[in-house]
């Protein structure tokens, strides 16, 4: 899928919709947010890398760019899946990285509402930190939407959120202003909360998706001083029920709430989605896993808000 085609399916901002690309592995249907996909390629020869993670096949070099190849069947099922000539590489771009995932086939692209995507039950997702970020039904078939950030973080932990970034900021003063965090990943939300607590932010309320955060904000929006209940909102983009773009739009479209600073903290901050966030009124947009940058931006927005 080239950039021209990709641009042709971009969604209107803040509508709570998502484009899901369906693909198959071992006859089972899975999904990935189209916003993460840069290209679909016929599989190529891969050069193995010494001491690589068992699910990493190696690297290849399309058009002069070295890209790591992950065998999704091996990751999901722990088996040495056969590699066929008709396999495909889904080349992705998130967290400022390009990674190719080997799949059996790509079935198509479907537009859905985030409201139609459910968080998987812990009993079927492998516990709190399962690899499925959501489950939906498409044409009568259940499709598991995979948490690609978690997959990459497991394979290469140094690509994820690093607490030592907060240490580099030096001595911090405790801050008790109320902050809302909307993040559906149990693993990432725990890491974010740990880092923010380490940075001195002690009054953070976490919600699993934008809908839960919005429901809470609705209960306090008529109060005379909303800032005493919500000083700042940090939101992911990809979340079941309601995504971060929709949450941002709702906050910034409300006369009683629009003064609340909103930071979008997501693996999907590319040029296209940055423009979307800006149109919706996001005060800042930061790419995961830049936790040190997030802390500095929170400092700036809270100080700016206090002075105003």
- Strand partners of residue 40: 90
pLDDT of residue 54: 93
The Cα 194–Cα 154 span in angstroms is 18
Summary mean pLDDT of the chain: 88
Domains of the chain, residue spans: 3-156, 161-307
Lowest mean pLDDT among 28-42, 155-169, 179-193: 155-169
The Cα 15–Cα 279 span in angstroms is 13
pLDDT of residue 120: 78
Higher pLDDT residue, 15 or 304? 15
| N-terminal to C-terminal alpha carbon distance within the chain | 46
pLDDT of residue 69: 97
* Bond prior to 289 in cis (omega within 30° of 0): yes
Q: Does residue 123 have a pLDDT over 90?
A: no
Tell whether pTM > 0.75: yes
Q: CB pairs under 8 A, 24+ apart, for 264-271?
A: 264/235, 264/236, 264/237, 265/183, 265/192, 265/234, 265/235, 265/236, 265/294, 266/236, 266/237, 266/238, 267/36, 267/94, 267/95, 267/149, 268/33, 268/35, 268/36, 268/94, 268/237, 268/238, 270/35, 270/93
pLDDT of residue 162: 82
> Do strands 17-25 and 88-94 pair parallel, antiparallel, or not at all (unpaired)?
unpaired
CATH number for the domain formed by residue range(s) 3-156:
2.40.50.180
Same fold, 3-156 and 161-307: no
Q: Does residue 128 have a pLDDT over 60?
A: no
Alpha-carbon distance values, 139 to 12, 44, 107, 216, 298 (Å): 24, 31, 12, 34, 43
Q: Which two tokens stand for residue 49?
A: 């890398």
Q: Does residue 7 have a pLDDT over 50?
A: no
pLDDT of residue 49: 93
What fold, for 161-307?
Rossmann fold (3.40.50)
Per-residue pLDDT, averaged over 137-153, amounts to 92
CB 248 within 8 A of CB 280: yes
pLDDT of residue 98: 94
pLDDT of residue 122: 58
Q: Give tens-digit pLDDT for 64-105.
A: 999 999 999 999 988 766 666 789 999 999 988 999 999 999
pLDDT of residue 305: 64
Q: Give tens-digit pLDDT for 229-254.
A: 999 999 999 999 999 999 999 999 99
pLDDT-based confidence at 10, cuts 50/70/90?
A: very low
The Cα 268–Cα 9 span in angstroms is 16
């Amino acid at each position: 899928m080239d950039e021209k085609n990709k641009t042709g399916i971009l969604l209107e901002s803040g509508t709570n919709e998502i484009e899901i690309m369906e693909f198959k592995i071992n006859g089972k249907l899975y999904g990935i947010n189209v916003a993460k996909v840069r290209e679909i390629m016929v599989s190529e020869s891969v050069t193995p890398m010494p001491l690589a993670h068992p699910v990493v096949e190696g690297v290849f070099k399309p058009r002069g760019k070295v890209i790591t190849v992950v065998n999704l069947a091996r990751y999901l099922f722990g088996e040495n899946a056969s590699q066929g000539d008709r396999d495909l590489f889904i080349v992705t771009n998130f967290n400022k990285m390009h990674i190719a995932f080997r799949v059996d086939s790509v079935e198509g692209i479907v537009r859905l509402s985030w409201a139609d995507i459910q968080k998987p039950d812990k009993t079927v997702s492998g516990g709190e930190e399962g690899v499925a970020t959501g489950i939906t039904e498409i044409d009568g078939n259940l499709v598991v939407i995979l948490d690609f950030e978690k997959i990459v973080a497991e394979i290469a932990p140094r690509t994820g959120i690093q607490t030592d970034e907060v240490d580099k900021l030096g001595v911090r003063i405790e801050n008790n202003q109320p902050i809302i965090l909307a993040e559906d990943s149990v693993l990432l939300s725990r890491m974010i909360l740990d880092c923010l607590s380490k940075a001195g932010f002690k009054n953070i309320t976490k919600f699993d998706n934008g809908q839960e955060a919005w429901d809470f904000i609705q209960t306090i929006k008529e109060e005379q001083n909303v800032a005493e209940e919500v000083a700042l909102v940090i939101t992911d983009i990809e979340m079941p029920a309601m995504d971060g773009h929709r949450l941002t739009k709702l906050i910034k479209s409300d006369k009683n709430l629009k003064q609340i600073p909103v930071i979008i903290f997501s693996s999907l901050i590319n040029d296209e989605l940055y423009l979307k966030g800006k149109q919706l009124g996001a005060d800042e947009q930061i790419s995961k896993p830049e936790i040190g940058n997030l802390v500095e931006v929170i400092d700036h927005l809270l100080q700016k808000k206090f002075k105003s």
